[in-house]
Structure 1
Amino acid sequence: MQPLPDLIDDSLRVLFCGINPGLMSAETGHHFARPGNRFWPALHLSGFTPWQLAPAEQGALLTHRLGITNVVDRPSARADELTRAEYVAGGENLVAKVLRHQPEWLAVVGVTAYRDAFGERTAKIGKQDRLIGDTRVWILPNPSGLNAHYTLPKLAAAFAELERVS
């Protein structure tokens, strides 16, 4: 199965970074493609996009100076199938992408993925002290439907905090 191509350019306000592509995303070529994933609704409800994009409309993100990448390129059914080595290597690759494209913000979608990729065991949701070049870093909750700690309104509120400062 092919890795999912990044949606990225050099003038981004926010580069969103998922954990890794799910199988449906890898199959369709669209980020956050699983119907139960709440990334697209949260993005819209938070004010990042004027309408709720469908995964197939992901290219429209660039017109809003938004992009998407992943910590780990390898598709899997579940994130817990990834190894620590994949997260660490993914973190290194992510730093290289950020330094190359210099978005204003990197928003990692999933605190555990951030902790594993960057070795910051105590990181919490929200703005981080870490800078990658001049890029500021923010951690958002994982929008997967499996993340029961965050309802859609709570998830959208977390996204809206970043939208207000970006």
Structure 2
Amino acid sequence: MFTQLEVHGQGDQPDDGGADAQSLLAALRQAGEGERAAVLGDHLRDVTARVLGLEAEQIGTEETLSNLGLDSMMAIEMKHRIEAVLQIDVSVLDLLQGATITGLSEGLISRLRLGGADAADDADESKPVEAGDVGDQLDELEQLLAEATPDELEALLRELEAGQR
């Protein structure tokens, strides 16, 4: 089932995701160290708006994602969108537990290898998810499924069934 979620999430990516990723990373590298969190924050605001079905202007960067309406299924989509661009692991639980766009962008910037003083010292944190992390992902998925409402689970199953046809 986890594999199907991942495939479904990847199918929702825009066709030019690779170009978007490269342009965002280039913008982050060119920005001054003090401006990088704001640049990434703008991107995360756009991602959040897309996932929530809102306009970016409706998203407050200091409001928690949960208060904006992010639920567990949306958090999975957001996680995949962020990971596809930044190539670093993002915890769904972090997205659901009081994260703001500002806090998320500051935390992610510290983990990106962009060059300069902001470059992460720990290379393990900037790698995409590896096979050894599958157990952690399954634990995270199990917790999300346990917390999901029956209506959310039914909606997810309908989406998965529709995607297999």
Q: TM-score, normalised by structure 1?
A: 0.32
User: Hey, which of these two has a bigger chunk of helix by percent?
Assistant: 2
Larger-gyration structure (1/2): 2
Select the structure with the greater relative contact order (CA < 8 A; seq sep ≥ 6): 1
More strand by percentage:
1
TM-score of the superposition, structure 2-length normalised? 0.32
